[in-house]
Amino acid sequence: MINANILIIEDEEDLLELLEYHLQKAGFGATGFLSTKKVEEMICEEDVDLLIVDRNLPGVEGSEFVKYLRDKGYEIPAIFVSAKDSDEQIEEGFLRGGDDYITKPYNINELILRVKAILRRTSSKTSGKIAYKELEIDIDQREVFVGNEEIALSKLEFDLLLYFMENRGVVLDRNTLLEDVWKDKDFKQEKTVNVTVNRLRKKIDPQNQKYYLESIRGVGYKFC
């Protein structure tokens, strides 16, 4: 049973495949990347419970990338695995947002134990259910039902719907949505908000009969 989704960033392909294998064998979902490219896109669209990050990466250095994510509001716990093993380098890793630090070479069983320890400490999430009209959100299971039928939403769509339902009746401008849902104060492509809202609207109200999402011209949206 997969009880957490782990994202690995490691530029040594053999080591990356080995990590994926052992994590999956331990019951986790594991997805690997050879660089930081496209990682943020996945974090935005999918649920990720833990990052395992090498520091010596092509392009952006691993701890700099985690610091970048922290500055944008992402709080996904991160373990650094790195050959950078001086006291100063290890301290630097923690200061940039690391939750744990393992120096190479390392024991794979120890890494898995540390993964389990961090996930135990960080597994407490907002819990409960929110229901409104025919919609029901199970926050624990991240499931959405329209009537008695479950509908499939991406991570971004789920987060957006939850945000709307928690702010019913409030006019939300696009900049607020970008900052609070996309977690990006500087991302100015408001068209992206429109596309995602329209996609969500079609999923929760395919017959366009409930009018959950009202467009406020020149401003944003209101959930009603």
H/E stretch holding 166 reads: helix 155-166
Whether 224 shows a pLDDT value over 70: the answer reads yes
56 in Cβ contact with 64 (< 8 Å):
no
118 in Cβ contact with 125 (< 8 Å):
no
For residue 106, the model assigns a pLDDT of: 92
Q: Which band of pLDDT confidence, cut at 50, 70 and 90, is reported for residue 190?
A: confident
What are 80-126's pLDDT values in tens digits? 999 999 999 999 999 999 999 999 999 999 999 999 999 888 765 45
Q: Which residues have CB under 8 Å from 13's CB, separation 6+?
A: 34
Give the torsion through C-alpha atoms of 186, 188, 194, 200, to 10 deg.
-20
Mean pLDDT of 28-37: 94
Q: Are strands 149-151 and 143-146 parallel, antiparallel or unpaired?
A: antiparallel
For residue 1, the model assigns a pLDDT of: 36
62 in Cβ contact with 82 (< 8 Å):
yes
CATH class of this structure's domain 129-223 = mainly alpha
Q: Which residues have CB under 8 Å from 92's CB, separation 6+?
A: 63
Nearest Cα neighbor of 181 from 221, 128, 130 is 221
What are 143-164's pLDDT values in tens digits? 999 988 999 999 999 999 999 9
Question: What is the rounded CA–CA span in Å between residue 101 and residue 223?
Answer: 43
Question: What is the rounded CA–CA span in Å between residue 147 and residue 43?
Answer: 29
Q: Which band of pLDDT confidence, cut at 50, 70 and 90, is reported for residue 167?
A: confident
Long-range contacts of 33-36 (CB under 8 A, 24+ apart): 33/7, 33/8, 33/9, 34/9, 34/10, 34/58, 35/9, 35/11, 35/59, 35/60, 36/9, 36/60, 36/62, 36/65
For residue 213, the model assigns a pLDDT of: 93
Amino acid at 187: F
Is 3.40.50.2300 the CATH classification of the domain at 5-122? yes
Q: Which residues have CB under 8 Å from 12's CB, separation 6+?
A: 54
Q: Which band of pLDDT confidence, cut at 50, 70 and 90, is reported for residue 34?
A: very high
Whether 72 shows a pLDDT value over 90: the answer reads no
Nearest Cα neighbor of 45 from 186, 189, 185, 181 is 181
pTM to 2 decimal places: 0.63
For residue 198, the model assigns a pLDDT of: 94
- Give domain limits for the chain: 5-122, 129-223
| For the chain, percent of residues with pLDDT exceeding 90 | 61
Q: Which band of pLDDT confidence, cut at 50, 70 and 90, is reported for residue 13?
A: very high
